[in-house]
Amino acid sequence: QVQLVESGGGLVQAGGSLRLSCVGSGRTFSSDPMGWFRQAPGKEREFVAAISRSGINRYYRDSVKGRFTISRDNFKNTVYLQMNSLKPEDTAVYYCAASSSGWNSGTVFSAPVYDYWGQGTQVTVSS
């Protein structure tokens, strides 16, 4: 069974940090570009960050640039999201995703490009 499993979410005060992990199983994800999305209550799912197969190319939504860092360890079939200087508006369920067909700079932000999704991990930032 192919799975992506996120962990590392929790409750943190504004200004704090969390590191999310997403471990893949059932197939290798080392050749897949991967991304993180989030969904807050009552809002649509939105792109957060993405990383290319090699890890060289990384993309971020403007509101997290300079605070979040996406990385990956292909040997461990794992992608990470280091989140620093967290704000209450970062509160959401965070999902990792993999794109078996790949993306380009024009489609990396689009959820339909990703065909494998984790179950999500809750991140709550208190003010």
CA separation for the pair 55, 87 (Å, rounded): 26
Let me know if 112 is exposed, middle or buried by CB neighbors in 10 A (0-12, 13-18, 19+): exposed
Looking at residue 126, what is its pLDDT?
97
Residue type, 39: Q
pLDDT at 101: 87
- What angle (nearest 5°) sits at the alpha carbon of residue 45, between those of residues 11 and 50? 85
3 state SS for 57-82: CEEECHHHCCCEEEEEECCCCEEEEE
Confidence at residue 48, expressed as pLDDT on a 0 to 100 scale: 98
pLDDT of 83 reads 98
Q: How far apart are CA 11 and CA 124, in angstroms?
A: 5
**pLDDT per residue of the chain (127 residues) written in tens, 0 to 9:** 889 999 999 999 999 999 999 999 999 998 899 999 999 999 999 999 999 999 999 999 999 999 999 999 999 999 999 999 999 999 999 999 999 988 888 888 999 999 999 999 999 999 9
Task: Mention every residue, 6+ apart, whose C-beta is less than 8 A from residue 83.
Answer: 17, 18, 19, 20, 64, 67, 68, 90, 123
